[in-house]
Structures are given as structure tokens and as C-alpha cells.
């Protein structure tokens, strides 16, 4: 039975390591295509958008301005959340419940020390640390304090990443307006060339278009996704913590399962119940 628990743990870890969420890049790409299609249907030419100066100002300036708000030590956190924006970073909650129930069965049958062997295959550092603290015989209050600190540290790392993209969403339109003002200054300085006046004004507004577009189609959606991913991961860690403490307290596997199911939406609970019935 411990072997089965270990195997299921390794399987869940493997799923987490290779599971990628393609929805965000697909949705952003689709939004960009819709913008270009709308422009074409309106009689415009998307080629006018591909201008090095506004692209450099809006994207390069936005990234630099957002980085200026960070400490150097926080840049690594931003890199990790950029990867997270395109990946599903945690095992779904409904997959954690059977693992915790299996550990509860091992603990009741063989004792808490048997969890050390069963937890060797746990890939999640938070989950594994909780098991180690239980095996070490720490008081439940101390375990909760330590694990709550881990959860808060995770939340802070995610907060830094989400704030970085939120800042980019705020800076991009402003830099776009700056680019437009710069372009209009150039146009007004060459009023004698009336033939190129219209093209110059249109080119000046390209920066504003890129600023507003990048903020609302790229940066702010990524920021919102990171905030949501943080909430999901924190909820999962809270569930794992409650499960581990219930195992330490000697609660029955059935009671632990019932308690952990309360963390799931009703639809997900129904899936688990139907799977058990089958």
C-alpha cells in the first residue's frame, strides 16, 4: 500500500511538471488577430503598425519602467512568474485529496513514522515539508506557524510578479501617449511639407495604439492570471496543511476526505464522487 501511495504521488508530480496551460498565449494571439482583422475590415493597413520607433518606445520603455520599481533581488521572482504565466503550476486540488487520504490510511495502519517512507516520492516541496514536520513530532501549532510562513512567502513572490505586469499595464498607455506627442512635435516642426502631414500624424498615433493594445491585451490579462493562479495555489496549500494536521491528529481517512472536499467547487466534488462510484 505504501508503494501505491508513493507511485500515485510520483504520477501526480510528473503531471504537474509537464502540464502546460496554452489558453493564455492562444487567447492573447486570438485577441491580436481580432484587432488586425477589425483594422482590415475597416479599410486600414496593418503594415503601418510595424514601425521600429513606437515598438521600441512602448515595449522597451514599458519593461524598463516596470523594472525600475523592483529591487534587484526581486527580478528572479519575476522570471519565475513569467514562466508560470504559461504553465499550470500546481496539481489540481482534486488530485491532492486521494494522496492525503492514502497517507492517512498509512498513518492509521503503520503509524506516523511510516509517512517518512511514503513521503519520499512527494515532489511538492510544501507537501513534503509538512510530512517531514509531522514525522519529526512537532506540535500542531508549530507546524501551522511554519507552514503559514511558507504560504505567506509564496503569496509575496506571486504578488511581486503580478504587480510587475500590472505596472506594465499602467506604463504602456502613458508611454504610447509620449510617443504620439513626440511624433506630433516632429510633424509640427515640418509643417511646410504638407504632402506628408497626414502620414506623419497617423504614424504618431501608432505609439498610442500599441500602448493601449499591449496594456489591455497582454500585460493586464497576464497580471490577472497570475493573481488567480496565486489564489488557486494558496488554496491548495491551505488544503494540504489542513489534511496533514488532520493526519497528525489521527482523524479517519473518511473524515479527512469529507473535510478536504469542502475546498472544492460543487462541480469538482461531483466528479470525484462519480469516479468513486464507478
Segments making up each domain of the chain, as ranges: 2-277
User: What span, in angstroms and rounded, lies between the C-alpha atoms of 236 and 46?
Assistant: 44
How many residues in total does the chain contain?
278
Which candidate, 136, 130, 165, 134, places its Cα nearest to that of 149?
Answer: 130
Q: What pLDDT does 13 receive?
A: 41
User: What pLDDT does residue 8 have?
Assistant: 44
Q: Which pLDDT score, from 0 to 100, does residue 55 have?
A: 93
Q: How does DSSP classify residue 37?
A: H
| Residue 104: per-residue pLDDT | 92
| pLDDT value at 16 more than 70 | no
How sure is the predictor about 66, in pLDDT bands with cuts at 50, 70 and 90? very high
Please indicate whether residue 30 or residue 42 has the higher confidence score (pLDDT). 30
pLDDT reported for residue 138: 92
- Write down the pLDDT at residue 12: 41
pLDDT(116) > 70 = yes
Band of residue 277 on the pLDDT scale cut at 50, 70, 90: low
The predicted structure's pLDDT at residue 143: 94
Provide the pLDDT for residue 20: 61
**What average pLDDT does range 105-118 have in this prediction?**
88
Cell, residue 270: 461531483
Say what the pTM is. 0.79
Cα 115 from chain centroid?
A: 31
pLDDT at residue 278 tops 70: no
Amino acid at each position: 500500500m505504501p508503494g501505491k501511495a508513493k507511485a500515485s504521488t510520483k504520477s501526480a508530480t510528473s503531471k504537474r511538471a509537464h502540464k502546460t496551460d496554452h489558453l493564455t498565449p492562444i487567447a492573447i494571439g486570438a485577441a491580436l488577430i481580432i484587432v488586425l482583422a477589425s483594422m482590415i475590415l475597416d479599410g486600414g493597413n496593418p503594415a503601418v503598425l510595424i514601425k521600429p520607433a513606437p515598438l521600441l518606445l512602448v515595449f522597451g520603455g514599458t519593461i524598463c519602467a516596470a523594472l525600475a520599481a523592483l529591487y534587484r533581488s526581486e527580478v528572479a521572482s519575476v522570471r519565475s512568474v513569467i514562466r508560470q504565466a504559461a504553465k499550470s503550476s500546481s496539481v489540481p486540488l482534486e488530485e491532492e485529496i486521494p494522496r492525503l487520504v492514502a497517507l492517512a490510511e498509512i498513518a492509521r495502519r503503520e503509524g506516523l513514522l511510516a509517512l517518512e517512507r511514503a513521503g519520499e516520492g512527494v515532489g511538492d516541496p510544501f507537501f513534503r515539508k509538512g510530512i517531514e514536520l509531522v514525522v519529526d513530532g512537532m506540535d500542531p501549532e508549530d507546524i501551522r506557524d511554519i507552514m503559514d510562513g511558507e504560504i505567506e512567502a509564496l503569496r509575496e513572490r506571486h504578488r511581486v510578479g503580478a504587480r510587475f505586469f500590472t505596472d506594465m499595464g499602467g506604463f504602456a498607455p502613458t508611454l504610447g501617449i509620449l510617443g504620439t506627442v513626440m511624433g506630433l512635435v516632429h510633424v509640427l516642426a515640418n509643417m511646410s511639407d504638407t504632402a506628408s502631414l497626414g502620414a506623419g500624424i497617423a504614424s504618431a498615433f501608432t505609439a498610442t495604439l500599441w500602448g493601449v493594445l499591449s496594456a489591455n491585451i497582454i500585460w493586464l490579462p497576464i497580471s490577472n492570471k497570475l493573481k488567480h493562479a496565486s489564489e488557486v495555489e494558496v488554496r491548495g496549500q491551505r488544503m494540504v496543511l489542513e489534511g496533514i494536521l488532520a493526519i497528525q491528529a489521527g482523524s479517519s481517512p473518511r473524515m479527512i476526505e469529507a473535510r478536504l472536499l469542502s475546498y472544492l467547487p460543487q462541480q469538482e466534488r461531483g466528479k470525484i464522487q462519480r469516479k468513486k462510484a464507478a
